[in-house]
Chains A and B, each alone.
Chain A
Amino acid sequence: MKKQLNITVNGEPQQVLVEPYYSLLDTLRDELYLTGTKKGCDEGDCGACTVLLNGKPVCSCLVLAHAAHDSEVTTIEGVANGQELHPVQQAFVEHGGLQCGYCTPGIILSTVGFLESGEEPTEENIKHALGGNLCRCTGYSKVIESVLVAVKATGKGTE
């Protein structure tokens, strides 16, 4: 039976009716029509569905929607500030950190979460932070390059 779920998505409080077996991913895409979050494998291997749950990157395909009640979720739709791209998005655009783009929302959210985590943004730490995001196009070099640019743009570097 569907039950009410109260959840804040990209700063907006939402009330949705969802089945007990709905994932957070299906709730975002099918109930809230936020289709920027992608469904890749639906079993926690590819990272395409990564969103921030209370500020931390998670695979939204693994989260029971009802388990996220009264939580704050950030999806790719909530990353930019109006028409102004987030520095991470800007870096990916300018440095070719994407090709087909399917994995990109997940990679952007993993990167935003990493930059907020307080971990030292070394190349090795970046690779570990993005280890859970598969990309079949870029070969990752441009992705890492884009993140390194974003590190500088957000002033998170420690030089």
Chain B
Amino acid sequence: MGQGMKRFEYQEARTVRQAISMLQRYGDSARIVAGSTDFLVRWRAGVWNPEQVINIQRVAGLSRITYSSRNGLRIGALVTVRTLEQHPTVRRRYPALAAAAASFAGVQVRNLATVGGNICNASPSGDTIPALLVFGAECKIAGPDGERWVALDQFFKGPGQTVLENDELLVEIRVPPPPRNTGSHYIKHSPRGAMDIATVGVASLISLDGRRGPCSEVRIALGAVAPTPIRAYSAEEMLRGQGIGQELIQTAANAARDGVRPIDDIRGSAEHRKEIVGVLTRRTLEQALISAARGPLNFEEQRRLTVQAAF
């Protein structure tokens, strides 16, 4: 063991109830892991120092993913990012989400990493989050007194900070069925095409009232440009209810760009990030509009447009 690392005890929970009672017992000295793709790295770096590690990977019933046209998509918190990427219904009905999953790290990480873990880590750059935000995802949280629901856009409080109490567990993500004539797209800009986090990630969704519009709903979500993933509400307002064309998309993209206050870091300066927000907002809106009118791209095409590595 190197410097800064502290020994921990390892336990497994097999049921949600058991996980919660362990959390009640250990409070803030416990850390939940599932795929553990972030845990060992942060522990080795001395960033996370729990006394108890509670592995929920084998909790029964949380690895299911189901879809119904009435209730939409139900994603158990332990569904892996790889499963999300490969799921035929996700590819067909939630293309931005399948593409975002495909842009996430590499196969070796996606086979381990869970959707619940990506959300609970609350990284500003978490790849599944902007896509889940534009589809209006909601989180089912289990605690000692039962369950509660929190909209995903209310779930984050800051980098690594969520509304979860220290005895609560995210158990399911529910994503409503998108209306007819809906298109969506996600673009991730990062230095490397795999195993890297986003410099900026943008997801957009457009629903049209009929194939020619006007736009009945629009959502734009931005990753890696604020303490949490955020919606670009002012840009959305410019498009909602309008007949959307190239000029209006550009105006909205500019508004998204001007509305963010990103930071400088190793992946890019604040100014660079702002410009990328403008460009990616425009591109994702353009693709979402095309898909809303003509139907979704096939997965390979969508993925080609999503993963854009550039220095």
- Residues on A lying within 8 angstroms of B by beta carbon are 3, 19-21, 23, 42-47, 50, 53, 56-59, 61-64, 66-67, 110, 113-114, 122, 124-125, 128-129, 131-134
**Contact residues in B for A56 (Cβ distance below 8 Å):** 82, 111
Contacts of B75 in A (CB 8 A): none
In the complex where A20-B9, A45-B195, A58-B111 touch, is A124 in contact with B300 (Cβ < 8 A)? yes
- Complex CA–CA separation, A42 to B195 (angstroms): 13
Task: Show 16 A/B contacts (Cβ-Cβ < 8 Å), sorted by A.
Answer: A19-B7, A21-B5, A43-B41, A44-B195, A45-B195, A47-B106, A57-B108, A57-B111, A59-B108, A59-B109, A62-B112, A66-B10, A128-B107, A129-B107, A132-B109, A133-B106
* Contact A132:B9 (CB < 8 A) given known A57-B108, A64-B39, A64-B40: no
Q: Are B1 and A21 in contact (CB under 8 A)?
A: yes
Smallest CB gap from A23: residue in B: B40
In the bound complex, do residue B53 and residue A131 qualify as a contact, i.e. CB atoms below 8 Å apart?
A: no
Set B1, B57, B194: member contacting A131, Cβ < 8 A: B194
15 more contacts with CB within 8 A, not counting A44-B41, A44-B109, A58-B108, are A19-B7, A58-B111, A58-B112, A59-B37, A62-B35, A62-B37, A62-B112, A63-B36, A64-B40, A64-B53, A67-B12, A67-B33, A128-B303, A132-B106, A132-B107
Q: Which of A62, A110, A122, A128 touches B36 (beta carbons < 8 Å)?
A: A62
Docked pose: A124 CA to B303 CA in angstroms: 10
Interface size band for B: 20 to 34
* CB closest chain-B residue, reference A60: B108
Least CB distance from A36 to B in Å reads 16
Which residues of A lie under 8 Å from residue B44 when comparing CB positions? 42-43
Instruction: Give CA–CA (A122, B303) in the complex, Å.
Output: 14
Chain B stretch 63-113: residues in CB contact (< 8 A) with chain A: 82, 102, 105-109, 111-112
The answer to whether B108 and A110 touch across the interface, beta carbons within 8 angstroms, is yes
Least Cβ–Cβ distance between A144 and chain B, in angstroms: 14
> In the complex, A110→B194 CA distance in Å?
14
On whether the beta carbons of A20 and B7 are closer than 8 Å, the reply is yes
Please provide the 10 A-B residue pairs with the shortest distance between their CB atoms, ordered closest to farther: A132-B106, A131-B194, A20-B10, A56-B111, A59-B108, A43-B41, A62-B37, A57-B108, A132-B108, A45-B195
Does B55 sit within 8 A of A, measured CB to CB?
Answer: yes
